[in-house]
A and B are shown apart, each in its own frame.
Chain A
Amino acid sequence: MIPGIPIEVRRRFETPARIVALVCGVIIAASAYLPWAYGSDALDDVTYLGGPSFIQFIALGMGLVLAGLCVCSMRWPRGFGRIRIGWIRGARSLGVGLLVAFAVILAAISVELGGTINIVYGGWIGFAAALIAFVATRFLIPEGRPNLNRLGTPGWLSILAIAGVMLVMLFVAYYALDQSNPGTFVTFLVYVGVGVAVLLRTGALGWLTAATSVHRRVMLLAAFVVAFLFPFTQGGSDANMSIAAQVLIFAATAMGLNIVVGLAGLLDLGYIAFLGSGAFVAAMLSGTAMATLDIHPPFPVTMLISGCVAATLGLVIGSPTLRVSGDYLAIITLAFGEIFRLSMNNLDGTDGPDLTHGSRGISDTGELSLFGFNFGQTHTVAGLEIGRFANYYFLLLLWLVVVILIFTRLNNSRIGRGWIAIREDEKAAEAMGVNVFGLKLFAFASGAFLAGVAGAIKAHVDISVTPDSYVFLQSSFLLAAVVLGGMGTVLGVLIGATLLQLMPEKLRFVNEYRLMFFGLLLVIMMRFRPEGIIASERRQLEFHDEDEELAERLDEGNVDASRGAVAVEGAAR
């Protein structure tokens, strides 16, 4: 990615480079106490001398970590006993990360206050130190792969680690959603990325996954509890909760697409039609004045009907077309998405039945009411207000858990093995008795079903259902979320969906140029990390076919660290 420096040169300059990096780390930490900008509107007010803002505090921490890593790499170059730690690996990624972070910070200040003139000496010092630190870390020679994941961990420490991780995640979600300043938001995102990268490179993430994989159930439960507690941090405000609800809808739908694309390996470019059909069916059955069908079953039944209608559509489009594969299938699904949009636009009673009110759509779907609990009203639980979107958030969270459960269980079953076999070698799978056509069709139908149910909930969250919110662009965003996050993984797709849904909401300037922005993001990802943010082991190998070292490492991981202890996969499950 970054051109390397010849190893001989590195050897000669390694010691001075280490000291330079150390000093730069300290300077960066110190620069946090200096003002970075003239105006208080940039970032979270970085104008004070001697009073770091939150963004500056994190820079301070990172500078100290860089210095610490340099010291540790001199003090314990071989780690402790058998345990090797990637001090220099961490320092190198932190060097890159700090440079990126400071570039983003300076850019944010210039954009928000109008020109680089608004950057004060503190900012320049920090940036210069980050630049020098980056160059210096390039001279360091990374040590062998860290093996912190082999470290034995007592149970209480694992539980503590899980609790810590969850608290950090809750805070990250809370803080990121709370930022109205785009500069702060992006900087914070960069910080999070850098933090994860450093943890990964030093091997700490490996330890964390190894330690937590023993208590996977606790981990999953904790994650769920944190997600469940999130609305209580919002104080009854609907602003962030409506975004969070949209994120969950998007994530649940992307997870359904993940079955089709990630597991069975079928490219579907019209997936949004299944979400749309679910939404329209739920709207038609909602029983409001705008509903077009005079049947209004209770919502659980509506959900089921929506899912089944979507699944039927999946079967209808799937059975004749699944005999073609690859590009051809993609084109047909693309056409299917368009057919859906056009049908919804034209089922307005002019020709044929009036089911959707045409392009106006069904503009009132009413509020959900389950077991006497009205989702439209604000409820007070233990003194904390839970608003309308928070109610839906809980329902969506529940559905997302169900979707994830279905996804992972299908993946780890006879059916999942069949899907992978088909993806690996369709001819061989068929010759081994795998029901190729049936499994592909089932992937299509089950993915459609999950999207259909998500659509039924979405119809009520959005209140209105119109054809133009289910267009090709949405399909491509869903696909982008799956590809960006990591096909076939749970965590990856959740992250991908969150990023793609959150960014346009939080960054108005991204919203205008979001197509360009996402396109660029995808191109960069495909160049440097085609397997996505979180890579499933198999996918990783498919993309790095010639990488024997990777294959062997995964093998090694399989053998000595029972199931799933390999960092990424462990987290992904």
Chain B
Amino acid sequence: MTETVTAAADPGTDGAPLLSARQVTMRFGGLVAVDKVDFDVYPREIMGLIGPNGAGKTTFFNCLTGLYKPTSGRVVFDGAVLPPKPGKVVRAGVARTFQNIRLFANMTALENVMVGRYCRTSSGPMTSIIRGPKFRREEAATRERAAELLDFVGLPDVSENLARNLPYGDQRRLEIARALATDPKLLLLDEPTAGMNPQETRQAEELIFKIRDSGLAVITIEHDMRFIFNLCDRVLCLVQGRPLVLGTPEEVQSDPRVIEAYIGTGAEAQRTLDSDPDSDPEGGADA
């Protein structure tokens, strides 16, 4: 695959990849949801994952985060094979958000982020009960870091609000803050702008750039083509579980196979994709 230099601070694809998936396959009975996907993500890179509905994007995500154990193939993260346990994957440094927001609805925004710190703290029951020095130190640090992260994603004023009462866009940000609280090296965003208005989408874009600039790699699933092509350094297009094209946004955008997969063939389709990518017919849920 040829690699061109993109506009944003180029991460470069030389050096060791942060995450590399080799021949990852996920089969549910007779259905092959993900079929032999090869995939590398390098540090400080924003990777896009696109594809029509049912292409297996979220399933692939679940394979990367330990929710599913791939039927065959393997995922290597930071030099070690990722165990198929979500908890261990998080500790290794892969955090994610969910396509349909899964916050702890009845906890405050701050508490949500503090839960994200769980895997990076270790106060046991004993020190918690006697309120020992370790507990107090960790609790203060957790609280401080959580407030910092809320500030980072642009939610400094809502820390005491219940998550369920936040506006939709803020809930998405909060979910990102919660994921960041686990100190990840790689952040997986499952449709981070679904249901957002153009302004919120722009803010989300800025936030993702900011996250990348702080040293993280990001993989994002998205249906909003303008968003993807603005944001990503490289884009992988999945169709029916198979990788179709992997390349820079320009390459993918102009690849006739991608257009065909999304809309069908013909000049009409070409025009639709170029002029109005927002109104793609598969704006809804993904498999």
Contacts and interface: CB of A to CB of B under 8 A. Distances in A.
Interface in A32-70: none
A554 B87 contact: no
A421 B165 contact: no
Given A433-B90, A555-B165, A414 B128 contact: yes
B161 A433 contact: no
B119 A433 contact: yes
B125 A410 contact: yes
Which of A409, A417, A418, A432 has most chain B Cβ within 10 Å? A432
B162 A414 contact: no
Contact of A446 (B102, B125, B182): B125
Given A541-B164, A551-B165, A559-B160, A432 B115 contact: yes
B53 interface: no
A542 interface: yes
Nearest to A421: B115
Interface string A531-542: 000000110011
Nearest to A412: B128
B179 A432 contact: yes
B118 A418 contact: yes
B107 A425 contact: no
Nearest to A408: B129
B39 to A, nearest CB: 20
Interface in B138-181: 138-139, 142, 160-162, 164-165, 178-179, 181
Contacts of B108: 558
Contacts of A409: 128-129, 131
B119 to A, nearest CB: 3
Contacts of B86: 430-431, 433
A406 interface: yes
Q: Is the interface of A mostly helix, strand, loop or mixed?
A: helix
A410 B162 contact: no
Contact of B104 (A406, A421, A554, A555): A421
A415 B128 contact: yes
A250 interface: no
Contacts of B67: 427, 431
B226 interface: no
B165 A433 contact: no
A436 B67 CA distance: 14
B272 interface: no
A410 B118 contact: no
Contacts of B160: 555, 558-559
A558 B110 CA distance: 12
A243 B123 CA distance: 39
Nearest to B107: A420
Contacts of B128: 409-410, 413-415
A414 B116 contact: no
Contacts of B125: 410, 415, 442, 446
B232 to A, nearest CB: 23
B162 A541 contact: yes
B94 to A, nearest CB: 10
A541 B181 CA distance: 26
A398 interface: no
Contact of B162 (A429, A435, A554): A554
A519 to B, nearest CB: 29
Chain A residues touching B, range = 35 or more
A421 B107 contact: yes
A196 interface: no
Contacts of A294: none
Nearest to A442: B125
B72 interface: no
Contact of A420 (B95, B96, B98, B104): B104
Contacts of A552: 165
Contacts of A551: 162, 164-165
Nearest to A418: B118
B103 A428 contact: yes
Which of A409, A421, A429 has most chain B Cβ within 10 Å? A421
Given A409-B129, A424-B105, A434 B98 contact: no
B27 interface: no
Contact of B118 (A432, A442, A446, A541): A432
B90 A428 contact: no
A324 B129 CA distance: 29
Nearest to A542: B106
B128 to A, nearest CB: 4
Contacts of B98: 428, 431
B104 A425 contact: yes
B135 interface: yes
Given A435-B87, A436-B87, A425 B182 contact: no
A405 interface: yes
A487 to B, nearest CB: 13
Contacts of B129: 405-406, 409-410
B89 to A, nearest CB: 8
Contacts of A427: 67, 102
A546 to B, nearest CB: 11
A241 to B, nearest CB: 30
Nearest to B116: A432
A430 B96 CA distance: 11
B60 to A, nearest CB: 15
B118 A538 contact: no
Contacts of A555: 160-162, 165
Nearest to B164: A551
A435 B121 CA distance: 12
B114 interface: yes
B210 interface: no
Contacts of B179: 432
Interface in A415-471: 415, 417-418, 420-421, 424-425, 427-436, 442, 446
A353 B105 CA distance: 52
29 contacts: A410-B129, A413-B123, A414-B114, A417-B114, A420-B104, A420-B106, A420-B111, A424-B104, A424-B105, A425-B102, A425-B105, A427-B67, A428-B102, A428-B104, A431-B65, A431-B67, A432-B95, A432-B181, A433-B86, A433-B116, A433-B120, A541-B106, A551-B165, A554-B162, A555-B160, A555-B165, A558-B160, A558-B162, A559-B161
Given A414-B121, A435-B87, 18 more contacts: A406-B129, A410-B128, A410-B129, A414-B114, A414-B128, A417-B114, A417-B118, A418-B118, A420-B107, A421-B107, A421-B115, A425-B103, A429-B115, A432-B119, A432-B178, A433-B87, A433-B116, A555-B165
User: Which 8 pairs from chain A and chain B are nearest by CB?
Assistant: A433-B119, A433-B90, A413-B128, A428-B102, A424-B104, A538-B106, A558-B160, A421-B115
